[in-house]
């Protein structure tokens, strides 16, 4: 497409005829022939209405630039510039040097000559006619309710005629490569294919002091450059060329937008998305009071600050806000943009620029990346507050503005993990007709955000489809675990539960306590949220449990059974690897674990708790003081943690009373009596292992006082012995395994026992 009404020939000697087939008038201009439309060129406007009026308006505006270029080239030729000199611009002759001395201050070659009055009048008429055509197209577009993009750009960024013509001069080579030749000619340098500041001034203003006053239009705070509509390009060989020699170009994103397609600036990359707002998820993700608050607040055009862990709900609220405003939504992930090396100020400014271009509501997520000591830099927040429309910023943590005056309100909205009732509604919504009785358990045991619930349902449906069977409870629980925070595995060891209630041998009271723990975890949402117990009586939603007893009595097995029953992940933390002799390091290690665990929906099992949870001592030196600080810190983090925490210790007597008072459950695992040992032998022996009919578990239970963990080791050892000797487990194998286990434990082995 020819984007110029007036087209230049390659030899600059004659003008091309216009592309359109309409009545034209011709005027002889000293060897040039200019073909242009008559004043009553109505068919041009009518034809343009059948096409994109924005492009037609842009074409008409570029016609003005064509006339300016024609006039400047004509002046250069009248000034004696030899267009046929193949080396023009590559050397300076004596005559040219003398001519430069005679040239007035701040003038080009073209400014040294005066056009013939008739010729000058013809150029003036052509400029006026091009302006009238552009105005006519703009008015037609306005009447149709679609203002030209170029006019919109000038309006929202406050560009005057000089700024707009500067933009058009810089834009022309991007749309038609012939302009590169024109600019090379007018700049005495065939390699200079883009306009410089000097060329723009030559084309748009008279010589002399006026040029000096207009230099400020090319500063970094001028509208064209503040919003990076036009950018300075330094020559590769020069790090800081003079302003007049700096090359100018229009940002590629602005070029695409003027041609009808939005493409984010390269600094924003794929982290900026322009979309039509969606409202379907708002009623499911957003409480009614949140929607009402947003609708009421939009009257004042505030800056809306979202914070909280539920990023999907923040996006839904942003879409809802844009819909209420009747605007598109421009979502920019500042965290990703800044992480790619762009400064926060540049990222915010570009995002708001693109929002202005598209008339969109900006949603700047990842705002945490802009915070310094819990507050954004004043100049950065000022940039946001200066945006004339509703602006949304979203992050995870709350923040406060500091060290600045402002006359615009901030509306704060928190998006925490949805409540139990909201989670139930979300699971039911995304499961649709596939919702089941598992929804209550899923909502109660997994503190997932709206987006995580949506993704978990989709993942469970994928698993069912791959298997070729209907959706099952196991699919949903597995997906819920998968969409909990997986990073905890870098700090703790994940245990895959292998046991259920049939595998544990405990006295009735301890078994009942374990069932009560499971019931408490399942009943937390109803008791704490629906019944309101959590408002005053309970300090947190967490469940803290103490398992105390000798090694091998079933503490780890019980933790696995609870995790299996609740369909939650179990992570084992060995406190002996967490405790550090360096002051403050233990707290840092614990903090990392609890931060990652907060979003993991996992059960934390602190093994070897004796390393830290011993009786708090009287302070006698600095080490005692810091040891007590470590214990107090852990108690606080356990109370703040919303999940299940299990502590295992071998010596309950060493525990502080203040410590045990803060625990919700304490389960003592006694050393098994003979009857319990018999049940352990019978329960742990695998049914598929070949055995001799003469095995006497009663004898083993009566003669050897061993815990369940020791009995398990003996059975494993006996199985290996049997595999190498006859293929079935006999009493000799069991007795030999028992001997080895007792030796390993350091206990005396009486030959009469064997």
pLDDT tens by residue, 198-210: 999 989 987 777 7
What is the reported pTM? Answer: 0.74
Q: Using one digit for the tens of pLDDT, what is the confidence trace for 328-360?
A: 999 999 999 999 999 999 999 999 999 999 999
pLDDT of residue 702 exceeding 80 = yes
Residues 6+ apart with CB under 8 A from 431: 439, 457, 471
pLDDT of residue 1 exceeding 60 = no
Q: What is the C-alpha to C-alpha distance for residues 187 and 89, in angstroms, rounded to an integer?
A: 8
Average pLDDT of every residue of the chain: 82
pLDDT of residue 11 exceeding 60 = no
Question: What pLDDT is stored for residue 600 in this prediction?
Answer: 81
Are 553 and 676 in contact by the 8 Å Cβ rule? The answer is no
Q: Using one digit for the tens of pLDDT, what is the confidence trace for 537-578?
A: 666 678 989 999 998 899 999 999 999 999 999 999 877 677
Interval 48-71 mean pLDDT: 83
Q: pLDDT category, 67, cuts 50, 70, 90? A: very high
Instruction: Please choose, from the candidates 448, 505, 446, 456, the residue with its C-alpha nearest in 3D space to the C-alpha of residue 673.
Output: 505
Indicate the range of 381-395, 508-522, 567-581 predicted with least confidence. Answer: 567-581
Task: Tally Cβ neighbours within 10 Å of residue 117.
Answer: 8
Q: Could you tell me which residue, 286 or 627, shows the higher pLDDT?
A: 286
Q: Do domains 269-414 and 420-483 have the same CATH topology?
A: no
Q: Using one digit for the tens of pLDDT, what is the confidence trace for 473-493?
A: 899 999 998 888 667 777 788
Could you confirm whether domain 269-414 is CATH 3.30.1330? no
Q: pLDDT category, 87, cuts 50, 70, 90? A: low
DSSP string, 310-350: -HHHHHHHHHHHHHHHT--EEEEEHHHHHHTT--HHHHHHH
Question: What pLDDT is stored for residue 357 in this prediction?
Answer: 93
Interval 77-82 mean pLDDT: 68
Strand partners, 33: 28
**For residue 672, what is the DSSP state?**
P
pLDDT of residue 104 exceeding 80 = no
pLDDT of residue 258 exceeding 50 = yes
Question: What pLDDT is stored for residue 99 in this prediction?
Answer: 65
Q: Using one digit for the tens of pLDDT, what is the confidence trace for 621-672?
A: 444 444 556 667 777 787 788 889 998 888 776 666 767 777 889 999 999 9
Q: What is the C-alpha to C-alpha distance for residues 372 and 22, in angstroms, rounded to an integer?
A: 64
Q: What is the C-alpha to C-alpha distance for residues 52 and 36, in angstroms, rounded to an integer?
A: 22
DSSP string, 653-667: GGS-HHHHHT-SEEE
pLDDT of residue 150 exceeding 80 = yes
Q: What is the C-alpha to C-alpha distance for residues 194 and 200, in angstroms, rounded to an integer?
A: 11
pLDDT of residue 422 exceeding 80 = yes
Looking only at the bridges linking them, the beta strands covering 644-649 and 603-607 are: parallel
Looking only at the bridges linking them, the beta strands covering 329-333 and 361-365 are: parallel
Locate the domains of the chain by residue range. 24-253, 269-414, 420-483, 501-668, 674-753
Residue length of the chain: 754
> How far, CA to CA in Å, does 245 sit from each of 189, 205, 249, 480, 518?
12, 17, 13, 61, 76
Question: What pLDDT is stored for residue 673 in this prediction?
Answer: 92
Question: What pLDDT is stored for residue 102 in this prediction?
Answer: 65
Are 226 and 216 in contact by the 8 Å Cβ rule? The answer is no
Interval 134-146 mean pLDDT: 89
Q: Under CATH, which architecture does the 674-753 domain have?
A: Orthogonal Bundle (1.10)
Q: pLDDT category, 407, cuts 50, 70, 90? A: confident
Interval 280-303 mean pLDDT: 85
Q: What is the C-alpha to C-alpha distance for residues 11 and 18, in angstroms, rounded to an integer?
A: 17
Question: What pLDDT is stored for residue 39 in this prediction?
Answer: 33
Topology of domain 420-483, CATH: Helicase, Ruva Protein; domain 3 (1.10.8)
- 501-668 — its CATH code? 3.40.50.300
Question: What pLDDT is stored for residue 434 in this prediction?
Answer: 67
Strand partners, 35: 26
- Helix, strand, coil distribution of the chain in percent, nearest 5: 55, 10, 35
């Amino acid at each position: 497409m020819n984007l110029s009404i007036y087209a230049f020939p390659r030899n600059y000697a004659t003008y091309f005829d216009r592309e359109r087939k309409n009545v034209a008038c011709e005027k002889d201009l000293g060897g040039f022939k200019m073909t242009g439309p008559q004043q009553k060129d109505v068919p041009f406007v009518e034809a343009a209405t059948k096409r994109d009026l924005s492009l037609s308006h842009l074409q008409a505006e570029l016609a003005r630039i064509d006339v300016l270029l024609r006039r400047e080239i004509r002046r250069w030729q009248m000034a004696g510039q030899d267009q046929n000199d193949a080396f023009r611009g590559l050397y300076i002759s004596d005559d040219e040097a003398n001519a430069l001395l005679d040239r007035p201050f701040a003038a080009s070659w073209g400014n040294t000559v005066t056009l013939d009055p008739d010729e000058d009048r013809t150029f003036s008429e052509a400029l006026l006619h091009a302006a009238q055509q552009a105005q006519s197209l703009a008015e037609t577009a306005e009447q149709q309710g679609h203002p030209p993009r170029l006019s919109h750009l000038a309006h929202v960024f406050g560009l005057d005629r000089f700024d707009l013509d500067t933009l058009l001069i810089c834009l022309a080579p991007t749309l038609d490569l012939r302009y590169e030749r024109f600019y090379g000619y007018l700049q005495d340098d065939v390699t200079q294919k883009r306009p410089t500041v000097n060329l723009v001034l030559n084309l748009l203003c008279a010589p002399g002091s006026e040029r000096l006053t207009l230099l400020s239009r090319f500063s970094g705070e001028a509208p064209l450059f503040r919003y990076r509509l036009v950018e300075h390009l330094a020559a590769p060989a020069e790090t800081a060329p003079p302003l007049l020699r700096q090359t100018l170009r229009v940002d590629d994103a602005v070029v695409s937008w003027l041609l009808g397609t939005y493409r984010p600036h390269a600094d924003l990359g794929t982290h900026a998305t322009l979309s039509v707002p969606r409202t379907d998820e708002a009623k499911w993700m957003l409480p009614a009071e949140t929607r009402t608050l947003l609708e009421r607040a939009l009257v004042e055009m505030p800056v809306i600050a979202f914070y909280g862990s539920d990023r999907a709900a923040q996006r839904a609220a942003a879409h809802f806000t844009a819909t209420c405003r009747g605007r598109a939504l421009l979502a920019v992930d500042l965290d990703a943009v800044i992480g790619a090396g762009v400064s926060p100020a540049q990222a915010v400014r570009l995002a708001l620029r693109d929002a202005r271009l598209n008339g969109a509501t900006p949603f700047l997520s990842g705002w945490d990346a802009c915070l310094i000591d819990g507050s954004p830099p004043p100049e950065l927040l000022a940039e946001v507050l200066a945006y004339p429309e509703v602006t949304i910023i979203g992050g995870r943590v709350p923040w406060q503005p500091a060290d600045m005056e402002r006359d615009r309100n901030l509306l704060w909205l928190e998006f925490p993990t949805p409540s139990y009732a909201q989670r139930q509604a979300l699971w039911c919504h995304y499961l649709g007709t596939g919702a089941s009785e598992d929804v209550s358990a899923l909502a109660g045991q997994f503190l997932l955000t709206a987006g995580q619930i949506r993704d978990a349902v989709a993942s469970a449906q994928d698993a069912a489809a791959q298997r070729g069977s209907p959706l099952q409870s196991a699919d949903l629980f597995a997906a819920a675990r998968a969409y909990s925070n997986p990073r905890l595995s870098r700090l703790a060891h994940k245990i895959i539960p292998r046991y259920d209630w049939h595998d544990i041998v405990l006295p009735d009271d301890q078994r009942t306590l374990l069932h009560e723990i499971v019931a408490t975890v399942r009943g937390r949402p109803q008791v704490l949220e629906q019944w309101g117990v959590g408002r005053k009586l309970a300090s947190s939603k967490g469940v803290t449990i103490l398992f105390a007893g000798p090694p091998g009595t079933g503490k780890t097995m019980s933790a696995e059974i609870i995790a299996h029953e609740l369909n939650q992940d179990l992570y084992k933390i060995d406190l002996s690897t967490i405790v550090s002799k360096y002051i403050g390091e233990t707290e840092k290690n614990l903090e990392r674990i609890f931060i990652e665990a907060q979003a993991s929906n996992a059960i934390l099992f602190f093994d070897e708790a004796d390393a830290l949870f011993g009786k708090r001592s009287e302070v006698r030196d600095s080490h005692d003081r810091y040891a007590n600080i470590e214990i107090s810190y852990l108690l606080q983090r356990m109370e703040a943690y919303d999940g299940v925490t299990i502590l295992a210790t071998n010596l309950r007597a060493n525990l502080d009373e203040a410590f045990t008072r803060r625990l919700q459950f304490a389960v003592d695992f006694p050393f098994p009596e003979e009857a319990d040992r018999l049940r352990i032998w019978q329960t742990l022996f695998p049914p598929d292992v070949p055995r001799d009919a003469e095995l006497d578990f009663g004898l083993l239970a009566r003669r050897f006082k061993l815990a369940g963990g020791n009995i398990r080791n003996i059975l494993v050892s006996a199985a290996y012995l049997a595999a190498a000797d006859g293929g079935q487990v006999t009493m000799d194998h069991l007795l030999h395994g028992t001997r080895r286990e007792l030796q390993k434990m350091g206990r005396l082995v009486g030959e009469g026992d064997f």
